[in-house]
Amino acid sequence: MPTRRLLALLVWIASGCSPQPEVISLAPDPGISDYTPLVREILGQRPQGEVTIRFGEGTYDFYPECAAGRYIRVSNNDNGYKRCAFLLDGMRRVRIEGAGRKTLFRFHGAIVPFRAAHCEQISFHGFSLDCDAPFVFEGRVIANDPASRSITLRLLNPERFEIRSGQPWFTGYDWASPFGENILFDPETRSPYYAAERYEHDPKIPLRAERLADSIVRLSGYTARELPPVGSIYTDKGPHSTNRRYPGFSFYRTEGIELSEVTLHGSGGMALIAERCRDIVCREYCVEVPAGSGRMVSASADATHFVGCAGRIQLIGCRFESMLDDATNIHGVYMPVTERDGKRIAARFGHFQQEGYDFADPGDTVEFIDRSSLRTIGVGRVESVQQVNDNHYLLRTGFDTGRLPDSMRIAIGNRAAEADVVIARCTVRYNRARSLLISNPGNVVIEACDLSSMMAGIRICGDANYWFESGRTRNVVIRNNRFGNMASGGWAPQAVLQVDPVIPHEARGREECYHGCIRFEDNLVETFDNQLVYALSVDSLVIRGNRFVDSHRFEPRFAGLSVIDAQHCRSVTVTGNDFSGWKKNATISLVDCTVQRLEGDDLPETVENPNPYFYEN
């Protein structure tokens, strides 16, 4: 047989030997009140995966009583025993799909909708999901009384509100929460109020509750600087450390994840969290409140969050609205070193919501950093890892710590977390906190997005002292985006582009810049506050071809700051930007920046006016 015909035959035979995943079609059945046992049975009978579960138009309910359960550690969320409606473990080629927005998955009570661990080629397509009861309390302010420090609310969900020992609680199918972290929304703009922190009640001081009617309640003992105005929407997601229990999608050590045309309306934690995963694509994935629901809040935390991921992360054509945290946060983890003996070290986590995180494998490369300056002081390959408990790890690496001063505070970061990132044609609006947080060593491109959040537009940080989120970036390109009214809230100044590695003033310098090349090009910025770019410790900062417009939407919150503030950067280029629509008294502040190239017809005056605030928010 000729060689070419034999090769064609072998290709045909190989294709025929690779069976397509089995397809199981489901339709709404009035006789099925809970689809959890059916889904569990389908997946349980196919432990290797190789299955597509196809749901038709309609609503499918899922309850926790018969859901598979296990103890799950979820970084940046709350660890604990979780019941999961769709639990995928060690499977490959599993696809969950619906018939578009007319397919709704409704999850009741304390349940994680989707969990995939140690899987390959997992995809979700064409459906919406929501909770039966929001994990966030909402009520409209109909009266306030400065004398009694009280506000009166009309409850959005009266049947989900209780008073226990005189204090307000909100409830779900099988859970209940006291009040805790709160923020005020403007129903006209659907966004947090301007300077919303002035309305924040101290969560450590319990409010007193009195029910005046079925849907009317008075809350007394309000501690904020100002009482919420009549007509505002008061929201509360419960106490810190207990309000991130039930993420929507939880992925762990899974490779090849795709979400397309999926809409999440609510979750009791992050809408999507991926840890130690590889190759993740979210295409036309939306986080938003249901139309006509009257709700202000979708997910109680981030829309997407990626910890220690590799390969590629792509967010394409997504819309993220009304979350109580960021649209995305992409980072690794710094573990503080607690003991060291040559090449053997003990380490713990700096933040309680990282405890139990799967930090490293033998063969990974870790870098040792000085926690004060974030300088790299050594690199070593991991030889062994022993997790003694959730917050005590023993590692042996190829780096000898004996050469370091005993007084030096050290942390370690895993260099395996180096995903390349593309974020394109995405919209972020109506949310508390920031749009995009990028602390990732891979190549990053952010383009053609429309971003308008309460705080920073794009934050590029790195921190071994507070959140302990690594790390340094090498190449970030931010181009052809529109930035709307940013920085309307937060306890400290926020910038449209905020590069703020947490380095104390006394440790700042140019011996080693923390971040590499950051290019901010051809963007349209229409906002009101004074500072648009804040950059600390960047090797090459390029701000080129942007148009800056004063929206006059609000009064500037920090009027004395410069429009661009670069500190301890090796090279700063500001050229070809249009400042004609910006504030006439604007300045550019450069401090300890060796190479400076500033060009333009209407370029603001160059001064030394460094931002005096220290970012930790």
pLDDT, tens digit, 9 for 90 and up, residues 276-303 = 999 999 999 999 999 999 999 999 999 9
Same domain for 352 and 295: no
Same domain for 129 and 160: no
Q: Of 268, 288, 321, which residue is a domain's last?
A: 321
What CATH number is associated with residue 406?
2.40.10
Asked if the structure places residue 2 within a domain, the reply is no
pLDDT of residue 306: 98
Task: For 190-240, write each residue's pLDDT tens digit.
Answer: 999 999 999 999 999 999 999 999 999 999 999 999 999 999 999 999 999
Asked if the structure places residue 4 within a domain, the reply is no
155 neighbors 235 (Cβ within 8 angstroms): no
pLDDT of residue 616: 44
Same domain for 269 and 209: no
Same domain for 316 and 256: yes
What CATH number is associated with residue 64?
2.160.20.10
The answer to whether residue 4 scores a pLDDT higher than 90 is: no
Percent of the chain with pLDDT over 70: 96
Asked if the structure places residue 327 within a domain, the reply is no
Q: Of 268, 301, 321, which residue is a domain's last?
A: 321
Domain count, the chain: 4
CA distances, 196 to each of 228, 358, 413, 448, 490 (Å): 9, 36, 35, 29, 7
Show Cβ contacts of residue 486 under 8 Å, excluding neighbours closer than 6 positions.
451, 452, 453, 454, 455, 456, 457, 494, 495, 496, 527, 529
Same domain for 486 and 596: yes
Asked if the structure places residue 13 within a domain, the reply is no
Same domain for 117 and 98: yes
Asked if the structure places residue 52 within a domain, the reply is yes
Same domain for 119 and 27: yes
Same domain for 576 and 447: yes
The answer to whether residue 1 scores a pLDDT higher than 60 is: no
DSSP secondary structure of 386-432: EEEETTEEEEEESS-GGGS-TT--EEEEETT---EEEEES-EEES-S
Asked if the structure places residue 564 within a domain, the reply is yes
The answer to whether residue 8 scores a pLDDT higher than 90 is: no
Same domain for 409 and 424: no
Asked if the structure places residue 617 within a domain, the reply is no
Show Cβ contacts of residue 456 under 8 Å, excluding neighbours closer than 6 positions.
434, 435, 486, 487, 494, 495, 496, 497, 498
pLDDT of residue 18: 55
Same domain for 119 and 157: no
Same domain for 472 and 564: yes
The answer to whether residue 446 scores a pLDDT higher than 60 is: yes
The answer to whether residue 538 scores a pLDDT higher than 60 is: yes
Same domain for 591 and 495: yes
Nearest to 462 by CA among 584, 540, 367: 367
Q: Could you check whether the bond before residue 471 is cis, i.e. omega within 30 degrees of 0?
A: yes
Q: Of 291, 321, 351, which residue is a domain's last?
A: 321
Going by their DSSP bridges, the two strands 344-347 and 328-341 should be labelled as: antiparallel
Asked if the structure places residue 226 within a domain, the reply is yes
Q: Show the domain range for 532.
A: 418-607
Task: For 115-151, write each residue's pLDDT tens digit.
Answer: 999 999 999 999 999 999 999 999 999 999 999 999 9
Task: For 388-409, write each residue's pLDDT tens digit.
Answer: 999 999 999 999 999 999 999 9
DSSP label at 166? Answer: T
pLDDT of residue 288: 98
Q: Tokens 């409209």, residue?
A: 140
463 neighbors 424 (Cβ within 8 angstroms): no
Query: Cα separation of 36 and 578, whole Å?
Result: 57
